[in-house]
Chain A
Amino acid sequence: MLTIKNLHARVEQQNILNGLNLTIKPGEVHAIMGPNGAGKSTLGYVLSGREGYEVLDGQVDFQGHDLLDMDIEERARDGLFLAFQYPVEIPGVSNMEFMKESVNTMRQHRGEEPLTAAEFLKKAKEACKQVQLPLDFLKRGVNEGFSGGEKKRNEIMQMILLEPKLCILDESDSGLDVDALQVVANGVNSQRDGKRSFVVITHYQRLLDYIEPDFVHILANGKVVKSGDASLAKQVEKEGYAFLGLDTSEEANA
């Protein structure tokens, strides 16, 4: 699905990723943990193609294509989805218009007929229900005036509607209470079908209580310093990152 080799990247003249390697196979769930500034969010942005994130070295193969050579929208259409840590508010563009455009762009790319307004509405309503957002959210501006938790649930709703192949969840648990956390986790779990892969970026083990990962990677100073199974996350929860013997003095800067 995704193979990252020796990825180096920088933002605003600062090297953030320093030789990151990661291989994700179809159907796998990988959790990425790590202290602040380890490069977790940067990884998500670099993979999605955000401007300002400069790749210095390395390769990323996504389903046999050179991911780094693709535009932001091409990556999305080929099935890469990033659930944002801080989803953007876009007043004036309704969630409905946004998602319909997005879903139909994807369908077109897959050679499918675009959904009619009625067909889309039906799907959107179901997805809305699944993440427990009131239906009037569809009419409102994208994320406009949404609470933190509502924004996160909106991301999951988009994920459900877009049916991506690889989902990167960037701290989709941050700022959520237990109920909202469960909604997000259930949304994610409902999309696990043995083929779709997930990268779950998180600070805390608690999300992993609900979304059970196949692999856990600890990211520090821009590379994977330790990989293991779900028990690694529990160890981090108990002991912090100290047991890894990391120099954390510069992390706040990164």
Chain B
Amino acid sequence: MSAWLQQVIDRGQAMNDWLSPVRMKALEELATTAWPTRRTERWKYTSLSAVEQLELSTTASATHASVERISGLDSLDLVFVDGVLQTDLAMLQLPAGLQIHSLHSAPAVQQVIATSMFSQIKPRHHLFGLVNDALASDIVFIDIENGHAIEPAIRIINQSTADHESHQRVLVRLGNQAKATIIEQAEGEQSSLSTSYSEFDLGDQAQLDHYRFAMQTQQAIAIGGCHFCLHDAAALNSTLIGYGSELSRTDIDIIHNGEHAKAKLNAIYLLAESEHFDLHTTIEHAKPNGTTEENVRGIVGDKANAVFNGRIHIHRDAQKTLAELNNRNLLLSRRGQINTKPELEIYADDVQCAHGATVAEIEEEALYYLRSRGIPRSKALVMLNYGFIQELINQMPNQQLAQWLEPQLRARFKEMEVR
């Protein structure tokens, strides 16, 4: 066990609230979990040595968040700084059918629902998920009643400031036929560690448009996950955009727990300098007639390091499953590294399942073509890079978000340019 994990357990034991029984369970598991090394399959390409040495403040910082609005986007913003919720939930004007509570404000009924979800969708094998179970204090619970379509996007912003460790948690329940858009946006570049986990329960025919922007860079260590449970005919459309930092890891689990559920997951990672980004996705087809379409594209510059592991598990009863997984990578430098591994585990015999993974370089011919029309090399590279991910950006259901992202992503490509 690392010293860091030991102090997590010590601190976890001091937590005392209505989630304590679940927290205790997580602590028990942590106490018996071996600290991952490079021999641990889930951490084969991602070293945790940076975490072991961390000594960060665990008290909230005094910083107040400044959050830019997204132009043209109607959103309800929930702002966390170092894991502490800054937004006064009581002041939010919520549309009918939507409730947002924190751990501290949840009424008894919501406590019951939250308890039934907390750490139930997120699989127990995520070590830092257990850490988050134990230590997340300002847990936010978003509850959408049956049949309600929530118009404003719910935007959760998570900022990490220098020398802080934080644990942030969100639970979301969409009732039957409910509809919502949820954006999870994380930022930070100074030395810090944040774990950020969210669990989503999508009722029958519920529809969720979900975005996760894991945009921590430089020394901001970010470990987290999104975990979705889909009931009958639920539809999830999720877009992940990840930047790399000293260590950035995201685990996504999508569980088809009802029939005829549809999951679409588009993920993009863009890495510069010596950044590291690790994405593990697992799709569990536990019920028949489910559909999954997963597109993952990455661009890796300089000495950066990308890890992608995409698992699709089709259970014995999940007949008539349609599942596709595609991972395409663009490597901008000979010093960059990409480790990609699709994993299919299929126990049903009447399914359609396809996967593919490629790693390519910028086509010199395309670069030459653009330059021959007067476009400078660096700009041509940005265009080609953006072109590589544009298809996925265009598929985002909310194009206001896409427009907000575009200049940021183009700026990111400039950083990624290898001179």
Q: Known A92-B388, A141-B387; judge A102-B364 contact (CB<8 A).
A: no
Q: Known A73-B375, A105-B374; judge A93-B368 contact (CB<8 A).
A: no
A168 to B368, CA, bound (A): 16
A77–B372 contact, CB under 8 A? Answer: no
A109 contacts across to B, CB distance below 8 A: 374
Residue of B nearest to A101 (CB): B375
A141 contacts across to B, CB distance below 8 A: 387
**Which of B364, B370, B390 interacts with A98 by CB under 8 Å?**
B370
Per the CB 8 Å criterion, the residue count for chain A at the interface is 30
Residue of A nearest to B370 (CB): A98
Interface status of A82 (Cβ within 8 A of chain B): yes
B375–A91 contact, CB under 8 A? Answer: no
A20 to B383, CA, bound (A): 36
Q: Within the complex, what minimum Cβ distance (angstroms) separates A51 from chain B?
A: 7
**Which of A88, A97, A101, A106 interacts with B366 by CB under 8 Å?**
A88
Q: Known A92-B390, A93-B386; judge A84-B369 contact (CB<8 A).
A: yes
Q: Within the complex, what minimum Cβ distance (angstroms) separates B301 from chain A?
A: 17
Q: Of residues 359 to 378 in B, which have CB atoms within 8 Å of A's CB atoms?
A: 363-366, 368-377
Q: Of residues 140 to 175 in A, which have CB atoms within 8 Å of B's CB atoms?
A: 141-142, 158, 162
Interface status of B17 (Cβ within 8 A of chain A): no
**Which of A77, A84, A101, A162 interacts with B383 by CB under 8 Å?**
A101
Q: Known A88-B365, A88-B366, A88-B369; judge A73-B388 contact (CB<8 A).
A: no
A49 contacts across to B, CB distance below 8 A: 372
Q: Known A97-B383, A102-B375; judge A72-B391 contact (CB<8 A).
A: no
**Which of B364, B366, B375, B389 interacts with A105 by CB under 8 Å?**
B375
B391–A76 contact, CB under 8 A? Answer: no
Interface status of B311 (Cβ within 8 A of chain A): no
Residue of B nearest to A143 (CB): B369
A75 to B371, CA, bound (A): 9
Interface status of A240 (Cβ within 8 A of chain B): no
B371–A72 contact, CB under 8 A? Answer: yes
A142 contacts across to B, CB distance below 8 A: 369
Interface centre among B372, B384, B386 (most CB of A within 10 A): B372
Interface status of A90 (Cβ within 8 A of chain B): yes
Residue of A nearest to B393 (CB): A92
Q: Within the complex, what minimum Cβ distance (angstroms) separates A171 from chain B?
A: 16
Interface centre among A92, A105, A109, A141 (most CB of B within 10 A): A92
A77 to B377, CA, bound (A): 13
Q: Known A88-B363, A90-B369, A101-B379; judge A73-B387 contact (CB<8 A).
A: no
Q: Known A50-B368, A87-B369, A101-B383; judge A92-B391 contact (CB<8 A).
A: yes
Residue of A nearest to B373 (CB): A102
Q: Of residues 398 to 417 in B, which have CB atoms within 8 Å of A's CB atoms?
A: none
Contact size range, B: 20 to 34
B371–A73 contact, CB under 8 A? Answer: yes
Interface status of A202 (Cβ within 8 A of chain B): no
A90–B387 contact, CB under 8 A? Answer: yes
A87 to B369, CA, bound (A): 8
Interface status of A85 (Cβ within 8 A of chain B): no
Residue of B nearest to A86 (CB): B365
A102 to B369, CA, bound (A): 11
Interface flags for B205-225 (1: CB within 8 Å of A; 0: not) read 000000000000000000000
A76 to B371, CA, bound (A): 8
Interface status of A42 (Cβ within 8 A of chain B): no
B366 contacts across to A, CB distance below 8 A: 88, 90
B373 contacts across to A, CB distance below 8 A: 76, 98-99, 102, 105, 158, 162
Closest 10 CB pairs of A and B: A92-B387, A76-B374, A93-B387, A102-B373, A72-B371, A88-B369, A105-B374, A77-B374, A92-B390, A73-B371
13 A-B contact pairs sorted by A residue (CB < 8 Å): A73-B374, A73-B377, A76-B371, A87-B369, A90-B366, A92-B389, A93-B386, A98-B373, A99-B373, A102-B373, A102-B375, A105-B375, A141-B387
Residues of B within 8 A of A (CB): 363-366, 368-377, 379, 383-384, 386-391
Excluding A92-B389, A93-B387, A109-B374, 17 further A-B contacts by CB distance (< 8 Å) are A49-B372, A51-B364, A51-B368, A71-B377, A73-B376, A76-B371, A76-B374, A88-B366, A91-B391, A92-B386, A92-B387, A93-B370, A98-B370, A101-B379, A102-B373, A102-B375, A105-B376
